[in-house]
Chains A and B, each alone.
Chain A
Amino acid sequence: MNEAIKISKLKKRYGAHVVLDGLDFCVRQGEIFALLGANGAGKTTSLECIEGLRKYDSGSITVNGRTGIQLQSASLPEHIKPLEAVRLFAKWNKMTPDKAMLDALGIDALAKKQYYQLSTGQKRRLHLALALTRNPDILFLDEPTAGLDVEGRLSLHEQIRQLKAAGKTIVLASHDMAEVENLCDRIAILSGGRIAFIGTVRQLNETVGKHYNITIQTERRSETYESDNIEETLLSLLMQYRETGEHITDIQINRGSLEQHFMKIAKGEA
């Protein structure tokens, strides 16, 4: 598979603080790729360097294709109507707005509303439409579903899947682990300005190991235990509860979430 983006030895510092310390990774054409990282890990800085919105100190970035960018924090004149904004940006880029894309994002339905009257979800859809006006090959989405309700989130996920099906390469930064698990082909976890992990969600689970959460509910309390050896831990816990005479009303066992794996890697525990 061809590379849509190639990052090599990327370095960036703010004063004495090193944010990106020789970042190396690539994004393949047609995949949904997620950048994850704790606050201050360099996620936004690396994304902005790739997008061309921020200068970097050294290294190289190769982007093969036209880009579209949806910023996490974005605004427009409060009295502008969605279609007017789309037309302005499209005209400036010598493009014609794609009617099908506008329909899919529900922009036509917002024709009479002004920007300040739009909900958070509607604004996000509008900014996604603006990012798509240049018919990009590569789409950058920074926290695309932040602040959206469940319905808005699912709707946007579906639109992102459709964009992938249309052949777009999508790079997204997200804190929503469920979103990353559901949408992404590959993920990269940033820690200390470097890539701590890169691969698929399955590979991440395999890397971190079999981690389980055991929640035991009694009539008086609910306790959650973490375990890397489910059989031993469960037997031991059942014995403890039997000795104390507490009556167990429910037991739930689940695999650790991507978030837990991510936190382990980010903290350097894995």
Chain B
Amino acid sequence: MGAFLYGVFLQWKLDIRSKTLIITCYMVPLLFFAIMGGIFTSIMPEARDTLIQSMTVFGVTMGVFIGLPPSLVEIYGSDMKRVYKANGVPLSLGLVLTNFSAYIHLLIMSIILYIAAPLAFHAKLPENPALYFGSLAMFIAVSLSIADIIGLTVKDPAKTSMVSMIVFLPSILLSGIMFPIELLPEAFETAGKLFPASWGYRLMTAGTFQFENLLPLLIILILAVCVCVILLRRAAQD
């Protein structure tokens, strides 16, 4: 347990030293919040009702899909995994530590938004904070699991950001955080349901717990974890 906790703490420090994660987990989401929060609430005052949720979904999606895969490619697309193996460290450790650390960073960023939005833009706080944070915890976990697949599959760092964009952009545009999904063409509305951002946003904006919004996230999480296990086993045999 001591080794694991030291690993999490170390990964946390490495993420802070790495400018990439600071930019993707904090700077861009908070800058986006500062600008879009101002625009949304001035042209659509009702946006205040869901500002925390929409900005959080953007921030988490940004941090997860743009920030995490490069860290995983650094481990699993390089000789680093052989160093782990050669020195008696399980190959899954890199994945677990990176996820734990990213989870903590994203949770902190989400809490900053939760506190700052009412102060800066008179955003409405979620009616049920426990449900909100429970939904947020689930949404972050599911998003991380999808990003893990990208990080374990793509070996070329240059291609990572392109593949991440394929998931990131539709997640943002089709999830309902920018504009109501009812306004989208039906095909886009259906496509949006493939991404965890749509379900995460629904779960976090709902005033009461609705299992039908949680189920898709659970299914995505289970499938993604299974794929990650297969990819890790394959990496161990390389």
Residues of A that sit less than 8 Å from B by CB: 51, 53, 68-69, 71, 73-80, 84, 87-89, 91-94, 114, 127, 130-131, 133-134
Residues on A with beta carbons closer than 8 Å to the beta carbon of B10: 80, 84, 88
Distance (Å) between the CB of A50 and the closest chain B CB?
12
- List chain B residues, Cβ under 8 A from A114: 17
Q: Which of A71, A76, A91, A131 contacts B3 (CB 8 A)?
A: A91
Q: Which 4 A-B pairs have CB atoms at the shortest separation, nearest pair first?
A: A91-B3, A69-B86, A79-B17, A92-B3
Residue pair B80, A77 in contact (C-beta under 8 Å) = yes
CB-defined contacts of A133 to chain B, threshold 8 Å: 87
Q: Which listed residue, A71, A87, A92, touches B88 by the CB 8 Å rule?
A: A92
B86 & A92 in contact (Cβ 8 Å cutoff): no
B216 within 8 A of A: no
> How far in angstroms is the closest Cβ of chain A from B1?
10
Say yes or no: A127 contacts B83, CB within 8 Å.
Answer: yes
Q: Which residues of A contact B83 (CB under 8 A)?
A: 71, 74-76, 127, 130
Complex CA–CA separation, A131 to B79 (angstroms): 15
In the assembled complex, the Cα of A66 lies from the Cα of B85 at a distance in Å of 15
Contacts of A134 in B (CB 8 A): 87-88
User: Do A79 and B88 contact each other (CB < 8 Å), given the known contacts A74-B79, A87-B6, A91-B3?
Assistant: no
Q: A74-B86, A88-B89, A93-B87 are in contact. List 19 more A-B contacts (CB 8 A).
A: A51-B86, A53-B86, A69-B86, A71-B83, A75-B79, A75-B80, A77-B75, A84-B10, A84-B13, A88-B3, A88-B6, A88-B10, A91-B3, A92-B7, A92-B88, A93-B88, A94-B3, A114-B17, A130-B87
A88-B7 in contact given A75-B83, A79-B14 (Cβ < 8 Å):
yes
How many Å from the CB of B39 to the closest CB on chain A?
36
17 A-B pairs with CB atoms under 8 Å apart are A71-B83, A73-B79, A74-B80, A76-B80, A77-B75, A79-B17, A80-B14, A84-B10, A88-B7, A88-B89, A89-B89, A91-B6, A92-B3, A92-B89, A93-B89, A94-B3, A114-B17
Interface SS, B side? helix
Q: Does B2 touch A at the CB level, under 8 Å?
A: yes
Contact between A78 and B6 (Cβ–Cβ < 8 Å)?
no
Distance (whole angstroms) from the CB of B230 to the closest CB of chain A: 18
Write out the residue numbers on chain B whose beta carbons fall within 8 Å of the beta carbon of A68. Answer: 87
Interface centre among A69, A92, A127, A130 (most CB of B within 10 A): A92
* Contact residues, B36-75 vs A (CB, 8 A): 74-75
Bound together, the chains give a CA A75 to CA B75 distance in angstroms of 9
Q: Which chain A positions have C-beta within 8 A of B78? A: 75
Please name the residue on chain B nearest to A70 by beta carbon.
Answer: B86
Closest chain B residue to A90 by CB distance? B3
Task: Specify which chain B residues have a CB less than 8 angstroms from the CB of A88 in the assembled complex.
Answer: 3, 6-7, 10, 89
Output the least CB separation between B198 and chain A (Å): 33
Interface residues of B in 93-135 (CB under 8 A from A): 93
Q: Does A89 lie within 8 Å of B14, measured CB to CB?
A: no
Residues of B near A87 (CB, < 8 A) are 6
A71 to B87, CA, bound (A): 10
Give Cα A131–Cα B83 distance, bound, in whole angstroms: 9
Tell whether B82 is near chain A: CB-to-CB under 8 Å: yes
Residue of B2, B14, B75, B86 with most partner-chain A CB within 10 A: B86
| Contact across chains for A69 and B87 when beta carbons are under 8 A apart | yes
